[in-house]
Structure 1
Amino acid sequence: MASEQTAAATEDLPEGEAPDKATVRKAVAASSIGNCIEWFDFGVFSAGVMTTIVGTVFFPPDDGGSAVLRSFALIAAAFVARPFGGMFFGPLGDRIGRKSVLAITIILMSGSTFLIGILPGYDTIGIAAPLALLAVRLVQGFSTGGEYGGAATVIAEYAPTRKRGFFGSFLEFGTLSGYILGAGLVLGVDLVLSDEALHSWGWRIPFLIALPLGLVGLYIRTKLEDTPEFQKMEKAGEVSRSPLRETLVHNWPMILNLIGIVILLNVANYTLLTFMPSYLATNLDISSTTASLITIGVELAMLAVIVPLGSLSDRIGRKPLLLTAAIGFILVSYPAISLMQTQKTLPILLGFGLMGALLVLMLAVIGSTFPAMFPTRVRYGAFAIGYNISTSLFGGTAALVIEKMIKTTGSNYIPAYYLMIAGAIAIVPILMLPETARVPIGKCGHSRKPEERVPV
């Protein structure tokens, strides 16, 4: 096994330049912790009880029951800034290196989440409270726009070719871990504190935890060298002079392909992980505690299988798993949501579990699939731009749009229709996707014409 790993790694790099296994593990940990912090924030924000509290603490009193919509609007607002973060940090990472940019993004992400925990509410500073919260959420979105593409790129460029699926799956292992940690912490605070204490100060505790998490992540990242692929590109004098222009001019077809796949990924991701807890509590009259336990339980199951699925993709390819997920969401979403309408715990758990099983098929392979769609020179920027445009338009707005459509139509089946449409859209770009499971990362991606090469 060790000899296979070494051989796989050296397919990309000259002998002696391939990273050892300890360095690869450190790179995976440094990348995954940023995703963990990002989704820790979502886990906190979307927990049933927290969704209501945030909507009431930072906004004027309202008897119209719009606290949940306000919180979903805040979640969506952060996504407005994500494409701008991707356009800024992504090409910057292609120009100066992945390591430096990821150090900046993790500071901004954890720091802004921490700030939410110390912001005064509407009762203290009036209309300045929601405006300050909005500003912080925009900073979160801007920094997150540069985080995910860089973290995925680091893992892909460090991982041995034959185990890129295995190592890449740890990126979304961080996603699920962060969500479980955030939602679990909110649940714990809710169970321990009185309702009065929770609403007055206890809700701040989960947000404050983000800062020490970020400092740990920053420490790990500062101990890591830049990726072997980027260092090789630097030595060869192949760093692009204008990575943003090069990305948009020569790589837009594959960016469009990425956007199409990410529509399903993020509609499923944000529907299940940020909308469903509130959906169960608000629309199906399930207690917030039960809704949180169901969500956490399904995610723990996803956590248990995501790495084996990533390893499976190294053997059978990424496309079979992605296609299974897309077709599955078309066929299974309606029956799964129907099970939830029984308002009984076991059918709800089964329906949620069916959709979670489809989602984890995608989560297991995107960390190894998406970076391999682009050449090294523009990998960070192309990934970050395409991913964040799609996420901003379709992922971040999913909870808000679905909740609004449910209120407008009175139908609790809106989540199923939304997922089915997203699955149908994703099938075409998945079929067009080149299979890169056994292709060295340095040979992945394509460009429509040779670009200029400049000394660095």
Structure 2
Amino acid sequence: MSDNSTLTRTGGSLRAVVAGSFGNIMENYDNLVYGYTAATLGKLFFPESDGLVGTLYTFAVFAVGFLMRPLGAITFGHVGDKFGRRIALVVSVLMMGAATTLIGLLPTYESIGVLAPLLLVVLRMVQGFSVAGEWAGSAAFLVEYAPARRRGFFGSFNQVSTAAGFLLASGVVALNSTIFTEAEVLAWAWRIPFLLSALTAVAALWLRYGMAETPAFTEEQEKGATAKSPLKEGLRTEFPSIMRGFGFTMLWTVAYFFFLTYLPTWLADVAGVDPGVARTSNIVGLVVLTVCIASFGALSDRVGRKPLLIAAAAGFLVLSWPVMLLLQNGGVFGVYAGQIVIAVILAMFSGPGPAALSEMFPTKLRYSTMSIGYNFAVMAFGGTAPFIATGAIQLTGSDMSPVVLPIVSAFVTLLVVIGMRETAHRRLH
């Protein structure tokens, strides 16, 4: 059966993109709204610490959520490869919405003492577990629905929705701090961005529950070729590809969580940039990133994945240090210019990224194997990036010390990408 006839039978490509993307927006919003409220949460849940140490503790809790990623990857990967992408994605979005809403209902340290940060840790662990099933599932869902020559474009909406989730979280937190005074935010208004998750979770659940399974996975089911034990078979037959996926993801995750999550805090608390400028420039960068991703995904369908991936990795390797200097010393113009430069380079990687990573693995093991490589890298380098960056400044006394993270990760990912085969015009296997 051709791609186009399958798409017609299952309700059309547009619905697939919407269903595959909206839940990803919601889960990334939920995951990142925590990061963007780190300074406020530090005051509410770690009030006995000074400002920077409180932020450090809050980012440590942020990192704890990422420790659950491997368990979530194994669990959702097994479900997704054995029973289907749709059911795994439905459960993932439901768990994430519940955990984020409960964070918005938590009593603070002032009310219940040390139990407050402990409950915060538990809910962050639930968030980490659930989001582990989202990214790989969404990427596989979109790529497997795509016509053969448009996998880069379709897959890019995994990253469009990821960036949109970052953008939505950043925008809601910024708007919240604009509408309400600092005293009101600390008293009660900090809860609003978390409680909004309940609405987005219901919408995502409705979209996904009515969506049919992907054509590629359905074909595997009809042939009786689905894996009985996806994790065991994946580790036995696809371990080299899993390791390539790990290295491939290293720069990707550091770039997102360093430049898009930690950077606003660094600009305001370390570089002395006005907090309003830090937030607004971050939103501008996220808008540029969101707008550019699909174009680079479509371009990769024509010129291949590798040229864009190599250019992006090399760009981070060469430009991370100069851009950080520009952000610190270039005034308001430098802050906006630096954010835009990072956004364009990251879009160049993010556009072809989901398709390139999905194409490394066979359909019957794609969810499991891609989840393992991706989520272990995110655990190691994503959630820890803000924490390590904050700790590096305290340890070294150098405001520029955190930039070592994106430089080293860019070098590793560049080597991996150079060694990859081009998969843009190959048939999914």
The reply to whether TM is greater than 0.5 is yes
Alignment check: 8 A CA contact 1:27 1:155 kept: yes
Give the whole-Å Cα distance in 2 for the aligned partners of 1:130 and 1:367: 35
CA distance in 2, matches of 1:427, 1:438: 21
- Report what 2:94 is aligned to: 107
Q: Structure 1 residue 197: deviation in Å? A: 1.0
**1:40 equivalent among 22, 29, 41:** 29
Partner of 1:52: 39
1:399 aligns with 2:377: no
In structure 1, what residue type is equivalent to 2:35? S
Q: Is the 8 A contact 1:286 1:343 kept in 2?
A: no
Structure 1 residues 102 and 206 mapped into 2: Cα distance closer, same or farther (>3 Å)?
same
Q: Residue 37 of structure 1: CA displacement?
A: 1.5
**Matched residues in 2 for 1:433 and 1:37: separation?**
32
Aligned positions, number: 429
Where in structure 2 are the equivalents of 1:197-236 lying within 5 Å?
Answer: 197-236=184-223
CA distance in 1, matches of 2:42, 2:295: 39
Shift of 1:378: 0.4
Q: What is the Cα deviation at residue 233 of structure 1?
A: 0.7
RMSD between aligned residues: 1.5
Deviations 1:394-453 (A, max 9, x none): 111111101110111122222322211111111221122221112222x2xxxxxxxxxx
Aligned counterparts of 1:204 and 1:423: Cα–Cα separation in 2: 36
SS of corresponding position for 1:65: helix
Task: Give 2:253's aligned amino acid.
Answer: N
Say whether 1:259 aligns with 2:259.
no
Q: Which residue, out of 383, 392, 416, partners 1:429?
A: 416
| CA apart distance, 1:343 | 5.5
Where does the alignment leave 5 or more consecutive residues of structure 2 unmatched? none
- Residues 7 and 13 in structure 2, CA contact (< 8 A), matched pair in contact too: no
Structure 2 CA distance, aligned partners of 1:79 and 1:368? 24
Q: CA deviation at 1:63?
A: 3.2
Q: Measure how far apart 1:301 and its partner are.
A: 1.3
Q: Does 1:305 align with 2:292?
A: yes
Report which of the two has the higher share of helix.
2
Runs of 4+ in 1 over 6 A off after TM superposition: none
**Contact kept? 2:284, 2:339, Cα under 8 Å:** no
Distance 1:191 1:149 in 2: 35
Q: Quick one: distance in 2 between partners of 1:360 and 1:315? A: 17
Match in the other structure for 1:189: 176
The reply to whether residue 75 of structure 1 matches residue 96 of structure 2 is no
Q: Given residue 143 of structure 1, which amino acid in structure 2 is its aligned partner?
A: S
Map of 1:246 onto structure 2: 233
TM-score, normalised by the number of residues in structure 2: 0.97
Distance 1:234 1:315 in 2: 31
User: 2: distance between equivalents of 1:376 and 1:435?
Assistant: 18
CA distance in 2, matches of 1:111, 1:21: 29
Structure 1 position 341, deviation (Å): 2.1
The residue that corresponds to 1:173 in the other structure is 160
TM-score, length-scaled by structure 1: 0.91
**Partners of 1:296 and 1:140 in 2: CA distance:** 23
Could you tell which deviates more after superposition, 51-60 or 379-388? 51-60
Distance 1:144 1:354, change over 3 A: same
Give how far 1:38 is off: 2.3
Residue 203 of structure 1 and its aligned partner are, at CA, apart by 0.4
Provide the secondary structure at the position in 1 that maps to 2:217.
helix
Q: 1:360-397 CA distances to partner (integer Å, 9 max, x unpaired)?
A: 11111122111111001100000111100011011111
- Going from structure 1 to structure 2, the CA distance change for 1:45 and 1:343 (only over 3 Å counts) comes to farther
- Map residues 264-303 of structure 1 onto 2, 5 A cutoff: 264-303=251-290
Residue type of the partner of 2:276? T
Work out whether residues 59 and 129 of structure 1, in 8 Å CA contact, stay in contact via their aligned partners in 2.
Answer: no
Residue 45 of structure 1 and its aligned partner are, at CA, apart by: 2.1
Partner of 1:383: 370
